[in-house]
Structure 1
Amino acid sequence: MTQFYSKRDLKFQLFELIKADELNQIEYFKDHNRETFEMILEAADQIAQKSLRPLLTEMDRNEPQLENGKIKIHPKMKPIIQQFGKDGWINATFSYEEGGQQLPWTIHIAAGFILQAANYSASVFPFLTTGAANLIRTFGSKELIEKFTPNLYSGLWQGTMALTEPDAGSSLSDLSTTAFPTDEAGVYKIKGQKIYISCGDHDACENIIHLMLARIDGAPAGTKGISLFVVPQKRIDTEESNDVLTQGIYHKMGYKGAPIAHLMIGSEDQCEGYLVGEANQGLKYMFQMMNEARLGVGMNGVAIATAAYYSS
């Protein structure tokens, strides 16, 4: 069995150094204890050892490919993504009422560390979905929550964070993707493009749900005029194309097994997006997922360095 992290060190960090087992003193986590936390970590270890690690080299050498407008990824990723959904990893930190486990983020991200150390490319799919679903459940209407979150939680649909544009990388105030109001309240026609979208298209899920920043036509310039939208790749009711087309693919160093898409949105003026929360509040909302991603990327660095240490 290949070692890519230290169980002993991880448990030392969690339970002896930061006393994570004492989190059950908080009402929301009261049903947990060290035993349940260690069960979560052991479950992550089993997935990492049996499913993710064996695909590491293969996924790195055989990158996702764009064929006939669709990104194809390693065929063994589909059952892995489904397992993440079935086993409750995607919504583990959410409430019992939402089907979650009310698991502390500290333990959830520690389990993520194990998966990331095993195979970073394979580990990103469920955690992107978690972030997208969390945005909808936090800021979305009851209708949006009911329409989108169940299939995100189950792993049937993939979630993404769609921010970057060719002329608006880290400078989001310059984004030009535009949302045009329709006769239906909360529904907009979206037009623009997004680049470097992790898991922005692939063939292992039935639909891709983009949490996308855009500017409503006529909104203020700069960050004050940015809104947040749910933009599915396929129409929810008919499963027809929602005019979100994959025009390119990127292969990121150290991350080659994951599909990174260049998306064209609304080329046929047929892309529908659903406003999340209030207009012009999108960047504030998106910071929730961005900050979750920052924590995740920090742990990614630790995980990859740890794997490199044991590999050496």
Structure 2
Amino acid sequence: MGHYKSNVRDLEFNLFELLGIDKVLETGAYGDLDADTVREMLSEIRRLAEGPLAESFADADRNPPVFDPETHSVTLPDSFKKSYKALEDGEWAKVGVSEELGGLAAPSSVTWALNEMVLGSNPAAQMYAAGAGFAQVLYNNGTDEQKKWAAAISERNWGATMVLTEPDA
């Protein structure tokens, strides 16, 4: 067992008993997404978070990415690649992203319940997979040209990173 243990019961309490998300889903505003599907999604992301994602956390933390300036490439630990692939294969980063960008429309509270488990188990994997979410921001606020970039980001499953430009960062 890894370092991470999720609390799906607490998430379900907040989503269904406190926020009444099932009533929101019943309106059809999120297509075919219903309460049973959300519960299944929570269960599956829990399995992923406690298993494949958590398994690479310590290794990836102890063996960070290495940039090779000659080849302009970055090497990641194999364990992290496996975890990231599991996250990407399930298209979890596209939950809450508009259908125009190939996502699954979902209430923000559902998206963040899923993200909470991924962030808790492996924050680096969550950040790498955040490209579709960033593409959504660009799509919502960008120019027509930038909306094309957003579509490419989402379509090609580009990841995300943080580039700090402050000299003392």
Match of 1:165 in 2: 165
Give the TM-score, by structure 2 length.
0.78
- Give me the whole-angstrom Cα distance separating, in 2, the residues matched to 1:142 and 1:84: 30
Q: Find the aligned partners of 1:65 and 1:150 in 2 and give their Cα distance.
A: 26
Q: What is residue 19 of structure 1 aligned with on the other side?
A: 20
Deviation per CA, 1:3-39: give whole Å up to 9, x if none: 5222222222222222222221455225222101111
Question: Could you tell me which amino acid in structure 1 is paired with residue 108 of structure 2?
Answer: W
Which stretch of the first structure deviates more once superposed, 20-29 or 55-64? 20-29
Give the superposition deviation at 1:41: 0.9
**Where in structure 2 are the equivalents of 1:136-151 lying within 5 Å?**
136-151=138-153
Unaligned regions of 5+ residues in structure 2, if any? none
Q: Which amino acid aligns with 1:140?
A: G
What are the equivalent positions in structure 2 for 1:151-190 lying under 5 Å apart? 151-155=153-157, 157-160=158-161, 162=163, 164-166=164-166
Give the whole-Å Cα distance in 1 for the aligned partners of 2:150 and 2:85. 17
Map of 1:63 onto structure 2: 64
1:153–1:80 CA distance, 2 compared to 1 (3 A) = farther
Is 2:75 the counterpart of 1:72? yes
Q: How many residues align?
A: 166
Q: Which moved more, 1:131-140 or 1:23-32?
A: 23-32
2:51, 2:36 → 1: CA distance?
22
Moved more, 47-56 or 145-154: 145-154
In structure 2, C-alpha distance between the alignment counterparts of 1:153 and 1:44, rounded to whole Å: 22
Q: Report what 2:10 is aligned to.
A: 9
User: SS of the residue aligned with 2:93?
Assistant: coil
- 1:170 aligns to what? none
**1:139 partner amino acid:** N
- What is the SS of the residue equivalent to 1:24? helix
- 2:103 maps to which residue? 100
Q: 1:147 to 1:66 in 2, by over 3 A?
A: closer
Q: CA shift at 1:83, angstroms?
A: 4.0
Are 2:133 and 1:131 equivalent residues in the alignment?
yes
TM-score, structure 1 as length reference: 0.46
Q: Deviations over 1:34-57 (max 9, x none)?
A: 101111112211221331111122
- For the residues of structure 2 that align with 1:142 and 1:86, how far apart are their CA atoms? 29
Distance in 2 between residues matched to 1:79 and 1:59, nearest whole Å? 11
Structure having the higher Rg: 1
Contact 1:85–1:154 under 8 Å retained in 2: no
Q: Cα RMSD between the aligned structures?
A: 2.7
Contact 2:135/2:153 (<8 A) preserved: no
Give the strand-richer structure, 1 or 2.
1
2:78 alignment partner, SS class: coil
Q: What are the ranges of 5 or more consecutive residues in structure 1 without an aligned counterpart?
A: 168-194, 197-312
**Do the aligned partners of residues 115 and 133 (structure 1) sit closer, same or farther apart at CA in structure 2, a change above 3 Å counting?**
same
| Separation (CA, whole Å) in 1 of partners of 2:19 and 2:101 | 29
| Corresponding residue of 1:87 | 90
Contact 2:119 2:126 in 1 (8 A): yes
Cα distance, 1:63 vs. partner? 2.1
Q: What is the CA–CA distance in structure 1 between the aligned matches of 2:153 and 2:83, rounded to whole Å? A: 16
